[in-house]
Amino acid sequence: GINAEYGGHPSPESMRRGAAVLRRWAHRPPSRGCATTPTGKPPPLGPEPLGLYQQVHGGLQRHGIVILGVGNLCLLSGYLMSDPVGLRAFCATGSSLGILFNLTRDPPVWPNVGWGAVFVVANCGMLLSLLLADPGLEFTEEDLLMYEQQVMPHSVHSRRVHRLLQQAG
């Protein structure tokens, strides 16, 4: 047993007895019977098959770095675009993939999931407002010429110039 003389560790005699028991078990003949479960049926030969959720979750965990990499490439592509619709679409996609990555960590990284959701909602809301905006812009000949020569080289969107011209008079 445990002996205070040995600092609370097993005594050498106790260690020898334990080793003798292990040697006897190691030379035991194999069992002739079949183990059964509480229902009386033999246990399954392999591990139980995984459900669909476990299979998908495991696959996402194994490929998490790829998912995160693709998400970051989407974010970078969005930030490099001058088209606001493309920017919002790519940024929403990148943030969604970031959420997916953070959900499949063990344990999930909930603050990152929350902030990712905020960015997805913001980008999708702005994307929706851009898609629902009035597509028909009508410039007069004089305004169109002014826009093309003086404003367009500075990457100002035509919708903004049209709105300013309408407000001016």
- 70 close to 97: Cβ distance less than 8 angstroms: yes
Q: Residue 100: which pLDDT band, with cuts at 50, 70 and 90? A: very high
pLDDT digits (tens, 9 = 90+) for 132-155: 876 677 778 888 888 888 888 887
User: CA dist 54 to 65, 67, 101, 102, 106, Å?
Assistant: 19, 18, 15, 16, 13
**pTM flag (> 0.85):** no
Residue holding tokens 């490439």?
Answer: 73
Average pLDDT over residues 20-36: 64
- Tell me, what's the pLDDT at 8? 66
How far is residue 47's CA from residue 31's CA, in Å, rounded to a whole number?
22
Question: Residue 153, preceding bond cis, omega within 30 degrees?
Answer: no
Average pLDDT, the chain: 83
